[in-house]
Structure 1
Amino acid sequence: MTDLKAALDYPQDDVRRFKEAGLWTDTMPHQVLAEWARTAPNAPALIGPKASFTYAEFCERSQRFASGLLSLGLRRGDVIGLQLPNIPEFLIAYFGAQMMGAVPCMFHMPYRSGELESLIAHVRPRAIICVAASEKYDAPALMQKLQERSPTLETVIVVGGRTPPGCLAFDDLSSTGIGEISDQPGPDDPAIILFTSGTSTQPKAVVHAHRTLTASAFHTGDRMGITSQDVVLCAPAHTHAFGLCMAVTIMLAGAANALLPEYSPPLLSETIQRTKPTIVLCGLAHIQAGLKAKLWGPEIAGSVRRVITGGAPCPPEVLRSLEAALSSGKVFQVWGMTEVWMPIFHDLNAPLDLRAASLGSPPVGHQVRVVARDGTVLGPGDEGELQMRGPFLMASYYRNDSATRDAFTDDGWFRTGDMATIDANGFIAITGRLKDIINRGGIKINPMDIEVLMDAHPAVQISAVVPMPDEILGERACLFVQTVPGRTLTLENVCDYLAANNMAKLRWPERLEIVEAMPMTATRKIVKRKLVELLKQTGTTPEARN
């Protein structure tokens, strides 16, 4: 565990300040789960498509799984990989591992050997938990092949279906007797490993401690108004920071977690109608697809009083359209990162115009600033890189000193890489990604300005703008579009549309690429580096292809 704890080496002045301010406590998430099991044993905790669990059942299964892991010889500080969808077994394994001191590491469901081999080599898990083989993906077979190449990976645990020889069945481990855990984890111990989403670079590993998770989740639930009376549907994958943070938040609030194992508009519609959530957490892509499928109306989403979207900025017109579709619900944006589990969020009474224009303000104990490229701290309304510091921030990347050095300024502020403005009231608006800015002969083009307009085009399902090299100007803009089924689009259509929306010609994209599907992360963020790679394969001359 030594090198994992080294990734949690916070400056002692910060540790003292966070504890004195009550921002860090000694409470750990699995202790709160046990308390809910004691005080509200019959309250619904997990609502799956095939099985549901009360808080008492959820806690007991987690305790049994913890004992099962100990019986395998796993110990406090060992890393356990999880590649599971949003199903009850994911959260039973997650909290069970934390109860006995192991450190769950998240592997996204779409990852295969090309991604998993390097990630496994980086975090060195002793066990991996995966789904049973299906027609689309034989996870156990892949894990056993990776096991041959990983000196630390001893055990493959399979959820559901047939358990192949050499693997262990999840149900067997979660049905053992509940034994005493002699070597208990502490609040400063590592609790999880998450990889950054890797939309522009290779993923980096982030470690958070138990006390960080508890503090962040309690604060998030309070700001979002989540209570034990709520049913919360979280569409993003729990292997991602947004989904996992909200899963922990839902549990700490004593609410019910309505689980969506796999996303599609029909499955989301069915889950909303079956579980009747009061709060829905989702990404921008979920919202846009749902609006086009007309699933946000009162006949389907009548129970929903709040939709909270994160992962990517939500264009104001999309947020307004969603709120208009809901019968009585409000729509909020939330900002966070794998590195910093802090919700930038609005007060629940904030008016629609304010919620459409900005994300909100940072939580208590956090500082934010906007900085120019030359390091100058900017004033209200000026655009620059959003930087921050506070108690929910990681201390460093795991086993990646160079990335840690790049991520922090000399005076200890974390560089988010997001472009933003902060108004006179302290409300933050994300305006793009620093690395995405296109430099066209000295003219800076923010792709998000184009994408917001194009996403509102009736022929466009989703869009993305990336740079393409140019010998004269340095870079030009290329627009990628996934069209609405049955609709067509040309570069001339795009230029006419942007002109009608008063965008200067020098900012128009000079090439159009139509794709069947955008490359996405597990949380439905567009992976722009893959679009750049596609451009390299097809040639980067500015002539349009459509």
Structure 2
Amino acid sequence: MVKTQLPVTIDGLLMEAAAEYGASTAFTDGVHTLSFNQVEQLSKRVAKHFWKMGMRKGDVIAVQLPNSMEFVLAHLAAAQIGLVFNPLSPNYRRQELTYMLGHCETKAIIVQGSTSKFNFEALAYEVKEKLPHLSHVITAGGAEHTESILFSTFLEDDPEGVADKDLFEEKPGLDDPSLIMFTSGTESNPKAVLHTSRTFVATHLRNGYEYQVSEQDTILSLTPLCHMFSLPMIMIGLHQGAKHYLYGEYRVEELIDIFRHELVTFLIAAPAHLLDVLHYIKAAGAAADGVKLRLVLTGGTKIPSQMVKDLRDVLHCNVGAQWGMTEVCAGSFTRPEDDPSKAWESIGRVCPTGEVIIVDEENNVLPHNEIGEIAFKGDSLFVEYYRNPDATRMAFNENGYFLTGDQGYLDEGGYIYFSGRSKDTINRGGLKFHASEIEEALLMNPKVRQAAVVSVPDPRLGERACAYISLRDGEEWSFEEVKSFLLEQGFAKYKIPEYVEMRKELPATPSGKIVKGPLRTEAQLLGKE
């Protein structure tokens, strides 16, 4: 059902969701369950505790949490009193946190505490010593430090001396800062992307209509909520009355049972996750009986065509391709009614509130079917790179289009075809090809878990290609076998990597996108050997 008027702020969305869906399940983690009414009540309670701590409109609050109830409630609570929400990857450590929290002058951070794998509380205090603005460390788990505040205490009772009217005075306006997310940093130091309610709320709710989300859906995100791919699903689920299963720790061997038990219908996942699922089903002989997936939404890198075909055959679901960036949100995607081939051939059509053109190096608009840089304009476009006016200015052309750095072309039907990042074009003696061609083929080999192709400087040819590969546990693959495999796939010889480097793990962003910056630096040295 398409509603005629969309809420424009998250606190407005919360009130509408509670009124319309009431006692129905809004969020579950498999153990705990919250109704739409409880989500509104508890997030308001948490907001009051934030206010009691001295947090006020415009202050930045960071969370370094997995997909969890605490993440959701903190996000919704921050929105009710105008705090700027900054979700951070649990993979970040001292260097990244010190830079990001310092850049934003963050007032409080919510962390997991001490887990079996890492002590996030200790890290927070290590960083806090260097940052005078960081006043509070809140833990979603146990607390070892005497100054830590337990998030669980926020849920027990309203704080004394804080009334509803205090929150009302802090209500954010449509154009007040509401969200800061750092870019993936795949090429350089990450930038702080600033969004407001105007750029973040209604635009994503419209996308939810396009995904055909309804009260009959159960949403599950394998990608982290700290990433723009998954974060909007919190709002979409609330608006459409869908149940949202919060999946915190990725273990491929339990996914089929979760899909079946929770009746998951809408899955958000990176291609690497989906390849894992297919590999597990095949290797373990697992049956997909009882799985009710209707739509799998994926993106972040070029989508292997065979993966889409296998998902449709094995899980009997539709597969959608999405392209986006922190700066533009979900810029384009295929719709459920599109021809299945569009999911691997294209990145869909532009989102309902956006516009895409293709430009050349002089910012001239290119005709249909001609490759150039993808440029985006629309309601979901970010406001600025926070405290970085030079980077903000350089990111736009004179007509106000954001220059994405992604290469592609547009056809007559409005479908966008992704070719790769500008730096992913390899020029071997005048013969050019995109790294994504080889990466897609490598990822479809059952031995391969991650793959990235980068250029290596060459004094005679200009550039050669190097493939960085991580294999699945127990697998081996020689350089000659890699070359033979690619030749068997029908690739021209000039596209075959002349260097192959095996790694246990390739650097990746929270969404699973390979971070090529360190690999390019390493490849520069290969060219000097």
Residue 317 of structure 1 and its aligned partner are, at CA, apart by 1.6
Residue of structure 2 equivalent to 1:11: none
Which residues in structure 2 correspond to 1:318-333 (within 5 Å)? 318-327=307-316, 329-333=317-321
- In 2, distance between residues paired with 1:236 and 1:190? 25
- In 2, distance between residues paired with 1:300 and 1:112? 41
- In 1, distance between residues paired with 2:239 and 2:218? 13
Q: Secondary structure of the equivalent of 2:332?
A: coil
Amino acid in structure 1 at the alignment position of 2:358: V
Residue of structure 2 equivalent to 1:196: 183
> Which region of structure 1 is more displaced relative to structure 2, 380-389 or 122-131?
380-389
Which residues in structure 2 correspond to 1:14-33 (within 5 Å)? 27-33=8-14
Residue of structure 2 equivalent to 1:283: 270
Amino acid in structure 2 at the alignment position of 1:55: F
Residue 454 of structure 1 and its aligned partner are, at CA, apart by 1.6
* C-alpha RMSD of the superposition: 2.2
Residue 57 of structure 1 and its aligned partner are, at CA, apart by 1.1
- In 2, distance between residues paired with 1:165 and 1:281? 39
Residue 217 of structure 2: which of 230, 234, 237 is its match?
Answer: 230
Residue of structure 2 equivalent to 1:345: 333
1:418 to 1:297, Cα distance in 2 relative to 1, 3 A = farther
Residue of structure 2 equivalent to 1:4: none
Runs of 4+ in 1 over 4 A off after TM superposition: 22-26, 295-298
Q: Secondary structure of the equivalent of 2:110?
A: strand
1:98 to 1:292, Cα distance in 2 relative to 1, 3 A = same
Amino acid in structure 1 at the alignment position of 2:267: V
> Which region of structure 1 is more displaced relative to structure 2, 397-406 or 467-476?
467-476
Are 1:517 and 2:505 an aligned pair?
yes
- In 2, distance between residues paired with 1:455 and 1:482? 10
Residue of structure 2 equivalent to 1:112: 93
Amino acid in structure 2 at the alignment position of 1:192: L
Q: Is the 8 A contact 2:44 2:77 kept in 1?
A: yes
Amino acid in structure 2 at the alignment position of 1:500: E
Residue 347 of structure 1 and its aligned partner are, at CA, apart by 3.1
- In 2, distance between residues paired with 1:270 and 1:118? 40
Instruction: Write out per-residue CA displacement over residues 259-296 of structure 1, whole angstroms, 9 at most, x where no aligned residue.
Output: 11122312433432332211111111111111100189
Q: Is the 8 A contact 2:215 2:243 kept in 1?
A: yes
Residue 481 of structure 1 and its aligned partner are, at CA, apart by 1.3
- In 2, distance between residues paired with 1:494 and 1:467? 17
- In 1, distance between residues paired with 2:15 and 2:396? 37
Residue 300 of structure 1 and its aligned partner are, at CA, apart by 5.6
- In 2, distance between residues paired with 1:267 and 1:409? 47
- In 2, distance between residues paired with 1:23 and 1:448? 41
Q: Secondary structure of the equivalent of 2:432?
A: strand
- In 1, distance between residues paired with 2:286 and 2:26? 27
TM-score by length of 2: 0.93
Residue of structure 2 equivalent to 1:438: 426
- In 2, distance between residues paired with 1:161 and 1:399? 35
- In 2, distance between residues paired with 1:170 and 1:124? 21
- In 2, distance between residues paired with 1:173 and 1:163? 18
Residue 331 of structure 1 and its aligned partner are, at CA, apart by 0.9
Q: Is the 8 A contact 2:10 2:80 kept in 1?
A: no
Q: Is the 8 A contact 1:334 1:359 kept in 2?
A: yes
Q: Is the 8 A contact 1:220 1:343 kept in 2?
A: no
Q: Secondary structure of the equivalent of 2:526?
A: coil
Residue 406 of structure 2: which of 404, 418, 423 is its match?
Answer: 418
Residue of structure 2 equivalent to 1:372: 360
Residue 485 of structure 1: which of 466, 473, 495 is its match?
Answer: 473
Residue 324 of structure 1 and its aligned partner are, at CA, apart by 1.0
Q: Is the 8 A contact 1:408 1:415 kept in 2?
A: yes
Which residues in structure 2 correspond to 1:10-409 (within 5 Å)? 27-177=8-158, 179-180=163-164, 181=167, 182-294=169-281, 299=288, 302-327=291-316, 329-409=317-397
Instruction: Write out per-residue CA displacement over residues 29-84 of structure 1, whole angstroms, 9 at most, x where no aligned residue.
Output: 22111221122221111111331111111111101000001111111111001111
Are 1:540 and 2:526 an aligned pair?
yes
Amino acid in structure 1 at the alignment position of 2:421: R
1:300 to 1:200, Cα distance in 2 relative to 1, 3 A = farther
Q: Is the 8 A contact 1:163 1:169 kept in 2?
A: no
Q: Secondary structure of the equivalent of 2:47?
A: helix
- In 2, distance between residues paired with 1:163 and 1:300? 45
Residue of structure 2 equivalent to 1:429: 417
Amino acid in structure 2 at the alignment position of 1:510: E
Q: Secondary structure of the equivalent of 1:394?
A: coil
Q: Is the 8 A contact 1:128 1:157 kept in 2?
A: yes
Q: Is the 8 A contact 1:228 1:256 kept in 2?
A: yes
User: Structure 2, unaligned stretches of length 5 or more?
Assistant: none
Amino acid in structure 2 at the alignment position of 1:87: S
Q: Is the 8 A contact 2:6 2:205 kept in 1?
A: no
Residue 409 of structure 1 and its aligned partner are, at CA, apart by 1.1
Q: Secondary structure of the equivalent of 2:15?
A: helix
Amino acid in structure 2 at the alignment position of 1:408: F
Instruction: Write out per-residue CA displacement over residues 324-352 of structure 1, whole angstroms, 9 at most, x where no aligned residue.
Output: 1113x211111211001234122322121
- In 2, distance between residues paired with 1:462 and 1:341? 25
Amino acid in structure 1 at the alignment position of 2:509: T
Q: Is the 8 A contact 1:260 1:268 kept in 2?
A: no
Residue of structure 1 equivalent to 2:483: 495
Residue 117 of structure 1 and its aligned partner are, at CA, apart by 0.4
> Which region of structure 1 is more displaced relative to structure 2, 289-298 or 420-429?
289-298
Residue 231 of structure 1 and its aligned partner are, at CA, apart by 0.7
Q: Is the 8 A contact 2:353 2:380 kept in 1?
A: no
Amino acid in structure 2 at the alignment position of 1:315: P
- In 1, distance between residues paired with 2:515 and 2:78? 31
Residue of structure 2 equivalent to 1:507: 495
Residue 298 of structure 1 and its aligned partner are, at CA, apart by 5.8
Residue 494 of structure 1 and its aligned partner are, at CA, apart by 2.4
- In 1, distance between residues paired with 2:124 and 2:303? 37
- In 2, distance between residues paired with 1:348 and 1:126? 42
Amino acid in structure 2 at the alignment position of 1:197: S
Q: Secondary structure of the equivalent of 2:381?
A: coil
Aligned residues, how many? 519
- In 2, distance between residues paired with 1:513 and 1:502? 22
Residue 388 of structure 1 and its aligned partner are, at CA, apart by 1.3
TM-score by length of 1: 0.90
- In 1, distance between residues paired with 2:109 and 2:307? 39
Residue 456 of structure 1 and its aligned partner are, at CA, apart by 1.9
